[in-house]
Structure 1
Amino acid sequence: MARLTPVHFFSHGSTMMLGEESSSADYWRQCGDEALARGIKGVVIMGAHWDCHGDQIQVSTNPKPNKSPVAYVHPSKYVSYSLNPDLPTAQRCIELLARENFRVTPNPTIDWIHDVYLILIRMFPAACPPTTIISLNARYDPHYHLKVGATLRPLRRENYLLIGTGGAVHNLYRNRWAPMLRFRDNFAMEKAPEPWALEFRQSVEDVLLRTEGPWLRRAMTRLMKHPQYRGAHATDDHFMAAMFVAGAAGDWEDEGKERMLGAETWELTNMCNSQFTVGVDGVV
């Protein structure tokens, strides 16, 4: 049987992660190089900045999307990067989701947002691979987003790379913005991260590295009941990508697969950008 591709949960952090070098950027590039060596057919990605109201979910089918502009990053870092929407795979994803009774529709007008193209530029700087973007649902039901990942999981066997891009600890209200606003220094650490951020960050690592198979799915949803969850995530949008990943890499077949914390970058004192890879099936 064909080997399963790995699944990545990437914390994309602030927009400055596109312009500044970091260990996370190095790891994203490493994962991109490995994906190209594997000969992936394309990328299927769920971000944190596009969601749909009611009970619907959407798949991007814009044949010529623009990029939403980003703050604190020089346009030369992203404006000339050519996007590569994968319309046939988008239709395939719509069919798979509809088969599982999701209220799914195409969106032919959505532009790509930095949480998606930041990761693609860092992973694949030479050229964007064929890419399909899946929206969130604005009810932020963890089980709903687990099921989205589980529904699209078979694409891993067809050599598609599944990515969730959100945040391990991502509460913009509790970050320390002054060094970035005054000096454009997003990595300044005038003091250590606060205990609530450290505690939740450790819990995310424990779940992703110490549980597997269906237990991963259960443990990931329980994190939203963690005493420090609301401190670490003032809103739920950046944690739904983790649910998507758990659904995509939380089958019985995923037991025994390698998983790793590939890199970690703290920004704005209290934002933890952890980069996880799970479900690694053999070597390239």
Structure 2
Amino acid sequence: MAPTPVHFFSHGSTMMLGEESESADYWKRCGDEALRRGVKGVIMMGAHWDAEGDRIEVATNPDPKKSPVAYVHPDKYRNYKLNPDLTTAERCIKMLRTQGFNVDGNPSFDWIHDTYLILIRMFPHGCPPTVLISMNARFDPHFHMKVGATLRPLRHDGYLLIGSGGAVHNLYRNRWAPMLRYLDNFAMETPPEGWALEFRQSVEDALTQNSGPRLRRAMTRLMKHPQFRDAHATDDHFMAGLFVAGAAGDPEDEGTFATLEAETWELTNMCNSQFTIGTWA
């Protein structure tokens, strides 16, 4: 079958689970379309789980719990039933090992909001079979791109590959006062700062103006961007974008460009851009 689309979602703050937004509406539309197309399951790399050394891990906990979500009422997530796909998790482990990755299952990992926030928004009436892939704590862009490239064949089998990270995600440079005082994460007392606007535009250009192997090179180059460290104080939220570039940057993907479908600014300087590469055939 034709390959499924790939999503690079910026999950933003925890309040993106509790508050309505343009991004949340788009996540829901993506989930509805995936269900309508008979999606087999979801393969996702988030931004809050990494393995040390040269390792990566695949979640194999048959009954994972959910880490608490700050600033969101528990009714928004505590009754949502997670659906780990252990069979496909083992398939992912075998695929990754074949390509030389030092990978194992993690039978005790509990899911974190960076992944289940997206799943709840996409599939509010029931979680599809889902596999979570960890990052590696060295945050090598080529390494994470190869993870996405290795799992890319699952797109031909009806699986939806998602990277959940951030386009501009530097917690140290956000304006937290409106959220802490008034629970208003969307307050914009001032415009975003220039570094945030500059890097946000560079992410859009890299994703929407490049395809195939050129997309992989463009996303890798962003880590040398003059504003990269301003936009990402730590590398973890950008690795999901490299995973996506690997999954959607094959020569077969030449000519298939990403589209920016929704965007939500939070805390003045956090830009939650939502990109999709490809369409359902």
Shorter-chain TM-score tier: over 0.9
In the TM superposition, 1:235-274 aligns within 5 A as 235-274=234-273
Residue 28 of structure 1: aligned partner: 27
CA separation in 1, counterparts of 2:32 and 2:70?
A: 28
CA separation in 2, counterparts of 1:281 and 1:275?
A: 17
Count of aligned pairs: 281
Residue 165 of structure 1: aligned partner: 164
Shift of residue 256 of structure 1? 1.8
Shift of residue 255 of structure 1? 1.3
CA separation in 2, counterparts of 1:197 and 1:274?
A: 12
SS in 1 for 2:242: helix
Q: Deviations over 1:123-164 (max 9, x none)?
A: 000000000000000000000000000000000000000000
Contact in 2 for aligned 1:212/1:250 (Cα 8 Å) = yes
Residue 14 of structure 2: aligned partner: 15
CA-based RMSD: 0.6
Residue 110 of structure 1: aligned partner: 109
CA separation in 2, counterparts of 1:212 and 1:170?
A: 24
SS in 2 for 1:94: helix
Contact in 1 for aligned 2:207/2:257 (Cα 8 Å) = no
SS in 1 for 2:75: helix
Residue 142 of structure 2: aligned partner: 143
**Where do 5+ consecutive residues of structure 1 fail to align?**
none
Q: Deviations over 1:93-125 (max 9, x none)?
A: 000000000000000000000000000000000
SS in 2 for 1:161: strand
Partner letter of residue 268 of structure 1?
Answer: L
Contact in 2 for aligned 1:258/1:280 (Cα 8 Å) = no
Residue 52 of structure 2: aligned partner: 53
**Where do 5+ consecutive residues of structure 2 fail to align?**
none
CA separation in 2, counterparts of 1:259 and 1:180?
A: 32
Contact in 1 for aligned 2:212/2:256 (Cα 8 Å) = no
TM-score computed with the length of structure 1 as normaliser: 0.98
SS in 1 for 2:2: coil
Shift of residue 258 of structure 1? 4.6
CA separation in 2, counterparts of 1:172 and 1:192?
A: 17
Residue 194 of structure 1: aligned partner: 193
State the 4+ residue runs in structure 1 displaced beyond 6 angstroms: none
Residue 275 of structure 1: aligned partner: 274
Shift of residue 78 of structure 1? 0.2
TM-score computed with the length of structure 2 as normaliser: 0.99
CA separation in 1, counterparts of 2:86 and 2:257?
A: 32
Q: Does 1:67 align with 2:71?
A: no
Q: Deviations over 1:214-243 (max 9, x none)?
A: 000001000000000000000000000000
CA separation in 2, counterparts of 1:210 and 1:4?
A: 20
CA separation in 1, counterparts of 2:279 and 2:247?
A: 12
